[in-house]
Amino acid sequence: MTAVSTDYVGREFTGTPPYAVSRVKIGEFAAAVGATDPVHTDPRAAQAAGHADVLAPPTFAVVIAQRAEAEYIEDPAAGIDFSRVVHAEERFTYHRPIVAGDLLHTSVHVDSITTRGGISMVTTRTEITDDGGARVCTVTSSLAVRGED
């Protein structure tokens, strides 16, 4: 295994296809995280609450972000062995809610990589935009990548 390459700081990855948000995916995610509010599964409840369709739970954006981050993480030259990765932190900044029917685009930015004591801390920022280019959510993720034993 190679070390995590610091040459990736400042790079942007935009090759992940758009993500089509569906009622089914929102419902499955809501069930998985225990989000029981009907706005996540019932279009009428969501519309009564002012949303165009069912509303994704706040952490749903991680599904989209991790899918996009794979473009960077799976690049062999990046030096990241995913079996040695632990998610250290995930932050979400919403510009508007995610709802069923959204077609979302991503750009992943490698913001920083620092190595101390055999652990590399990798911070990425995934900008999620809608089909019109408007900002939807920013997901900041910090990964701890353990070095070889």
For residues 130-141, give the mean pLDDT: 98
Residue tagged 């609450």 (tokens): 49
Instruction: Please tell me the predicted confidence (pLDDT) of residue 131.
Output: 96
For residues 36-51, give the mean pLDDT: 98
Instruction: Write out pLDDT tens, residues 76-128.
Output: 999 999 899 999 999 999 999 999 999 999 999 999 999 998 899 999 999 99
| Structure token pair of residue 11 | 């790079």
Q: Which residues are CB-neighbours of 48 under 8 A, at least 6 positions away?
A: none
Rg (CA), the chain: 17
Residue tagged 């758009």 (tokens): 18
Indicate if the pLDDT at residue 6 is higher than 50.
yes
Please provide the average confidence, as pLDDT, over all residues in the chain: 96
Residue tagged 């408007």 (tokens): 134
Distance CA(95)–CA(142), nearest Å, equals 21
Residue tagged 């809501």 (tokens): 30
Cβ–Cβ < 8 Å for 55, 23: no
Indicate if the pLDDT at residue 25 is higher than 70.
yes
In the CATH scheme, what architecture does the domain 8-146 have? Roll (3.10)
